[in-house]
Structure 1
Amino acid sequence: MYQCCIFDLDGTIINTLHSLKKTVNETIKQFGYGPIDEYHVRYFVGDGYKKLVERTLVYCGDTELTHYEEALTVYDEMFKKYCLYQMEPYAGMPEFLKMLKEKGIRIAVVTNKAHDRAVECVETVYGPGFFDKITGEGKGMKCKPDPEGALKTAEEFHVEPSECLYFGDTNTDMKTGINAGMDTVGVLWGFRDREELEAFKPKYIISHPDEIRSLFNETNENSPASVGER
């Protein structure tokens, strides 16, 4: 049985699309750009805020990234203000996480979101101490898809990578799970589509957390027979 579940944050355990869109649009407005729509925000996020700012500026026409350094500073200021804007947990996720905890499964978050903001978001939605560990960008860990954050989490919990499930909604997450040697779960309720996830052949693809509950039944020894067919 799996002993640990590691989750991406944005698009996996919390719908932060509105807060990200609000933050990036308030940022680029300072430079006379925007706004950009949710579709593009979905595809610009996932690799940390620096990449988000870079991709957004290029899309808006600043191909030489003239405003890049200043925009990073503005983004940081705006994100402190809007990081909690209209965010909410995905359907079924609170119940699924509670079930894992009741069964003694360790749960953690590994995200490319800045660490302080990640903790703020997760604890606002799920409460302080609900997750056993939260690791965000800026805590000395390399950004995903580097597996360092996931592997350090497994090491701290004294479990093997093979005993972990890594959940995420983007190609970056699929790469992270694969690079860490963990079984990977692609979730379809997040920011990307099935085609993107399937390209990396995750162990499971699910459209609702309930679809993977059977893995944690006491009589189920990691059999994937009926779970999240790809």
Structure 2
Amino acid sequence: MKKAVIFDLDGTLANTIESLTYCGNRALRKFGLPEFEEADYKYFVGDGAAVLVRRALDKAGDTGLIHFQEVFEEYSRLFEKDCMYHVKPYEGIRELLEELKKRQIRIAVLSNKAHENSIQVVETLFGAGYFDWIQGQMDGVPKKPDPAGVYQIQKKLGLPKEAFLYMGDTSVDMKTGKAAGMFTVGVLWGFRDRQELEENHADVIIERPAELLSLL
């Protein structure tokens, strides 16, 4: 029986694509670089802010990353202020979380978003103390797909890996869950498609949050 669920944040718990696009394009615009659509940012995102900026610059034609430091600093400054821009939970997420709590299933978040931003987003949407643990990207802890963050959550909750479901929307999430030896659940309401999840060996792929309950 499963006793805990680890959720990815962007594209799994919350639709954050407008905030990422808004801040990314404003940073690019400041330095005279082209802006991109939300569909592009769905593939820029997933590996942390620095990689998002690198991917945007590469698509903008700055393959030598000449503008990286200035764009990254501007993006970070903007995101610190506007990381909640039009952010909202996906349909059915609140109901899923409430049912998990009723069943005494522990819930945690693991994100490659900066740790402070991860806490801000999760606590703004769901309230302080709602999740058993929130883990964002921080110094000294390798980012996903390295399983170090998963191991920290596992230690905090005091449960064996067999007790967990790991849930996310990208190849990075599937690789992270697999690296930690956990049952991985790919979701189709986020930023990536079924093919990516299948190619990265999701144990199960679901279309709606409530479908997770049948896996417990």
User: What TM-score do you get using the length of structure 1 for normalisation?
Assistant: 0.92
Contact conserved, 1:161 with 1:180, CA < 8 A, in 2?
yes
2:110 counterpart SS class: strand
Hey, what does 2:199 align to over in structure 1? 199
> Is residue 122 of structure 1 aligned with residue 86 of structure 2?
no
* Matched letter for residue 33 of structure 1: L
Query: Could you tell me which residue of structure 2 aligns to residue 227 of structure 1?
Result: none
Aligned amino acid, residue 210 of structure 2: D
Amino acid at match of 2:94: P
CA contact (8 A) 1:111 1:135 kept: yes
1:198/1:166 CA distance change after superposition, 3 Å? same
- Root mean square deviation of aligned Cα: 0.9
Deviation at 1:203, TM superposition (A): 1.4
The CA distance in 2 between the partners of 1:47 and 1:214, in whole Å, is: 30
Q: Which residue of 1 aligns with 2:140?
A: 140
1:152-171 alignment runs, 5 A limit:
152-171=152-171
What is the distance in 1 between the residues matched to 2:139 and 2:35? 31
Q: Quick one: distance in 2 between partners of 1:12 and 1:140?
A: 25
1:25 is aligned to 25
* 1:139 Cα deviation from its structure 2 partner: 5.0
Structure 1 counterpart of 2:8: 8
SS in 1 for 2:165: strand
Structure 1 residues without counterparts, runs of 5 or longer: 217-230
Normalised TM-score (structure 2): 0.98
Q: How far, CA to CA, are the matches of 1:155 and 1:120 in structure 2?
A: 23
Unpaired runs of 5+ residues, structure 2, are: none
Contact 1:47/1:172 (<8 A) preserved: yes
Q: Deviations over 1:89-137 (max 9, x none)?
A: 0111111011111111110000000011111111111111111110101
Q: Any idea what SS the aligned residue of 1:144 has?
A: coil
Map of 1:98 onto structure 2: 98
1:57 matched to 2:57? The reply is yes
Name the amino acid aligned to 1:16. T
How far apart, CA to CA, are the structure 2 residues paired with 1:101 and 1:141?
28
